[in-house]
Chains A and B, each alone.
Chain A
Amino acid sequence: MSTDNVTFTSADAPEADSYAGSYETTEGRIYTVSGGDWDSVLPAAEGEHDRIVVNMGPQHPSTHGVLRLILEIDGETVTEARAGIGYLHTGIEKNMEFRSWVQGVTFVTRMDYLTPMFNETAYCLAVEKALGITDQIPERANVIRVMMMELNRISSHLVALATGGMELGALTAMEFGFRERELVLDIFEMVTGLRMNSAYVRPGGVSQDLPADGAQKIRETIPLLRKRLKDTADLLVDNSIWMGRTVGVGYLDLAGCMALGITGPCLRSTGLPHDLRKSQPYCGYENYEFDVITKTTADVYGRFLIRIEEMEQSLRIVEQALDRLAPGPVMVEDKKIAWPAQLSIGSDGQGNSLEHIKEIMSESMEALIHHFKLVTEGFRVPAGQVYAAVESPKGELGCHIVSDGGTRPYRVHFRDPSFTNLQSMAAMCEGSMISDVIAAVASIDPVMGGVDR
């Protein structure tokens, strides 16, 4: 590009400039800048515009995936902020209408990919409620669900801290966060066969029992996790640089949270101890001792502290769950709902256990028919609609299902906390610096897989 460009007036700004095309509109000349040539554009626009709209994202390292922030800026100050979403919409809700109730689990686990256990549990609780079998879920299945959810809460909060730290320049926090998360994912792999997207929680229970040494291995991981979580906390809590970037930033008070439907750490950072695990317990949460963490600062630092302390509480719950783990079935007794197979890991990967294959292939024809019908046709859910909600690391994750009495959902809708919480971005950011936008969005902890579904 020639240096002549800097002398162009707006009237004859070059149409051919591949980095900064411009065109006339009813509101004046609009420049679309896509390259690093602000020097040539700003003088051209001098004295004519004082309104600059910046698209941050959808491909920006600090937007948590494909989030597009549309910021109107005045110098370094954000005067208006809007979020553009939908870049990761995959039609999960629509797809589920064309699969059986059990197959739905494999879809929902992929929504908010950092909290697969919560997605699965919310969906399964809703299906179980619609079936009317909530009371029949075996104790062991509930304990395993609680344990897996709390481990998942730790891994999700760790990613929130890791990516949030990275976005504010604390790269060590990112390395610590992802390293510790790996400990949790190792447990997931051991129990479910997969690190993510595990489709482990099923309507009626969980897909398979813990491996023989599973509980022992989880118990052994806890002290290491506790020590390393403390390292992460020591790194950032009361760290003056970290506090300089987060204290008083992204402020949203209780009234704002209520109006905008904000739940999770953002709501608890205003001092309201609202936690569905306490107020509307599910999966037997009423049997566990833990504290609901609140702060009163209503800012990014408060939310950060809440996440740090919630991980500690989650470890407490996991320990209690391990103590409560008594031998027993992990699926409902009703053979019309319970998946017939016991899965096991063989030399060629995960599949039906050899005992089960032996039974259906050479011993019981009825068992084979039953297995076939349940897998291909699935069970029927009585007509009607239900709503079930769990406290995910991000807030209230609600699942609304409508059944027409068939073998497939008539409609499934997820009230994903990331989707609702992201609406508060404008309220948190307008009037602040651009750099504070990053901190505020990180403290909401949106995951676009959940936002867009």
Chain B
Amino acid sequence: MSEPTASVVPQGVEQLDIIGVRHGAFGATGAGDTSGFGGLVEPIVLPGPAHRPFGGWFDEVSDELELALRAHGLPAGEVIEKVVIHRDEITYHVGREHLVPFATLLRDEPGLRFEMCLGVDGVHYPGEAGRELHAIYHFLSITHNRRVRVEVAVPDGDAVIPSLVAVYPTCDWHERETWDFFGIVFEGHPALTRIMMPDDWPGHPQRKDYPLGGIPVEFKGGTIPPPDQRRSYH
């Protein structure tokens, strides 16, 4: 994926969440594209930020959050970078320095009461300069029967996020897994070691720059390359 250029952004659209640009019709290159689709240029755009009113209980939770943040001396506009609503699910993008107080409020405020954290997982967006690694937390409120998602983005060169183990002990193994697979360091975790891969494993396997691996499958009279080198559609 190359850097997005201004020309692919439609006029009059603000704050597009572009994570990359696709060229051509096929994922793998070098396989000889004779389809005529080689000139295609298409931006990869994630759903953009939502604006009030969000609709449904989303406003209720957001009001509650803003009030609670203010009561704790945190400016809501600064803590919540943006709110994304996609397919009836709400995602709060939060700065890493505010993650622990934010999660504590989610857990403790009577109007929020997200008792259960469903863990954290990572997503790697190598095309998003300065925000390459995302940690995504899912929360469930059994009291109010609601779910929210919290997303924290950090640069690849400084992939450090404060640990939530003290607030939600369930994050223990989830954070270890995210460290193992993405190399995000959770500061304050009691024992941040690899959990799936062997202790001496080099690299973090689920990052996009880490190859899938595999060997060609050989048949009589033919060879099938490993999955990440086969010609494929975007």
Contact = CB atoms under 8 A, between A and B. Distances in A.
Contacts of A452: 196
Nearest to B91: A385
Interface string A82-111: 000110010101110111000000000000
Interface stretch (B64-72, B73-81, B164-172): B164-172
Interface in A127-184: 129-130, 132
A254 to B, nearest CB: 10
A260 B167 CA distance: 10
A420 to B, nearest CB: 6
A277 interface: no
Nearest to A426: B172
Contacts, number: 116
Of B47, B172, B196, B197, most buried by chain A (CB within 10 Å of CB) is: B196
Interface stretch (A227-235, A405-413, A429-437): A405-413
Contact of B170 (A91, A130, A376, A420): A420
Interface in B37-94: 44-47, 86-87, 89, 91
Contacts of B91: 385
B145 A93 contact: no
Contacts of B138: 387, 398, 400, 415
A378 B149 contact: no
A223 interface: no
Contacts of A260: 169-170
A132 B87 contact: yes
A262 B117 CA distance: 10
A258 B233 contact: no
B183 interface: no
Interface string B216-234: 0000000000011000111
Nearest to B20: A404
Contact of B87 (A89, A386, A408, A415): A386
Interface in B1-60: 19-20, 22, 27, 44-47
A224 interface: no
B34 to A, nearest CB: 16
B205 interface: yes
B69 to A, nearest CB: 23
B170 A129 contact: no
Nearest to B177: A419
Contact of B115 (A258, A378, A386): A258
B136 interface: yes
A258 B116 contact: yes
Which of the four size classes fits the interface of chain A? 35 or more
Interface string A364-400: 0000000000001110000111110100000010101
Contacts of A406: 22, 27, 233-234
A171 B13 CA distance: 67
Given A400-B138, A405-B44, A420-B170, A95 B212 contact: yes
B118 interface: yes
A324 B157 CA distance: 56
Most chain B CB inside 10 Å of its own CB: which residue of A272, A279, A420 = A420
Contacts of B140: 396
A407 B234 contact: yes
Contacts of A18: none
B212 A423 contact: no
Contacts of A411: 123-124, 206
Contact of B145 (A97, A280, A415): A280
B196 A85 contact: yes
Given A407-B234, A410-B123, A261 B170 contact: yes
Contact of A272 (B124, B142, B212): B142
B121 interface: yes
A106 to B, nearest CB: 13
Given A377-B233, A387-B147, A396-B118, A94 B170 contact: no
B56 to A, nearest CB: 14
Contacts of A29: none
A259 interface: yes
Contacts of B195: 85-86
Contacts of A420: 118-119, 170, 173-174
Given A86-B197, A260-B169, A385 B118 contact: no
A111 to B, nearest CB: 13
Given A89-B196, A98-B212, A279-B145, A384 B115 contact: no
A408 B121 CA distance: 19
A274 interface: yes
B26 to A, nearest CB: 10
A402 B20 CA distance: 14
B136 A398 contact: no
Contacts of A91: 205, 212
Given A383-B47, A404-B46, A406-B22, 12 more contacts: A89-B196, A89-B197, A98-B212, A99-B227, A261-B118, A261-B119, A279-B145, A400-B138, A408-B232, A415-B119, A415-B138, A423-B173
Interface of B: 19-20, 22, 27, 44-47, 86-87, 89, 91, 115-119, 121, 123-124, 136, 138, 140, 142, 145, 147, 149, 168-170, 172-174, 194-198, 205-206, 212, 227-228, 232-234
14 contacts: A86-B196, A95-B227, A98-B227, A259-B168, A259-B169, A377-B233, A404-B19, A406-B27, A407-B233, A415-B118, A415-B121, A420-B118, A423-B170, A423-B172
